[in-house]
Amino acid sequence: MSHTGRNSETTPGASVTLAEKEVPRACRTILLVEDEGFVRQGTREILLSAGYRVLEAGNAAEAMRAFRRHREDVQLLLTDVVMPGRNGRDLAHDLRAISPKLRTIFISGYPENVATRNGPQPGGWFYLAKPFSGESLMQKVRQVLEEDVTPGPEQIVKRAADSG
């Protein structure tokens, strides 16, 4: 796990300058799962430069181990879809069974893949096409972490009780 406190800089190879006002209010942790080392390294650097904590995994098995150790800290799963062994959709499903509020961004170079071909996705699941720029990655991460995801049964019951 890595963390940096850098507030304002340009990440080498990225097309975005991250200003101090864009740094998350609270340090958030992202579980990054990508089997291509170069893609994982570049993505990690962009996330670190924006002030996020990053847990890295090269496959679903490594990701499960990291998540079990740090599940209370992880707010976002950022995973490739097509990987050797288990795919990203299956990984996301398993992690959501452990932590139902976990949000997920699937990244893939395939326009039609196992994450999106079965129709609408559950609340908290999003998609970012590869290749992506540093700017589009940060925009998607901020959107997903700040967005009010479709309420689960516990919020619906609470809202009904509050309105009655």
CATH superfamily of 9-163: Response regulator (3.40.50.2300)
Instruction: Report residue 146's pLDDT band, with 50, 70 and 90 as the boundaries.
Output: confident
Q: What single-letter amino acid sits at 59?
A: N
The residue among 8 and 120 whose pLDDT is bigger is 120
pLDDT of residue 49: 94
pLDDT in tens, 61-89: 999 999 999 999 999 999 999 999 999 99
Q: At what angle do helices 88-98 and 60-70 cross, to 10 degrees?
A: 20
pLDDT of residue 117: 54
pLDDT of residue 148: 58
Instruction: Report residue 7's pLDDT band, with 50, 70 and 90 as the boundaries.
Output: very low
Closest CA to 88 of 74, 109, 73, 119: 109
Q: Which residues contact 128 (CB under 8 A, 6 or more apart)?
A: 105, 106, 107, 136, 137, 140
- Map tokens 């949000």 to a residue: 103
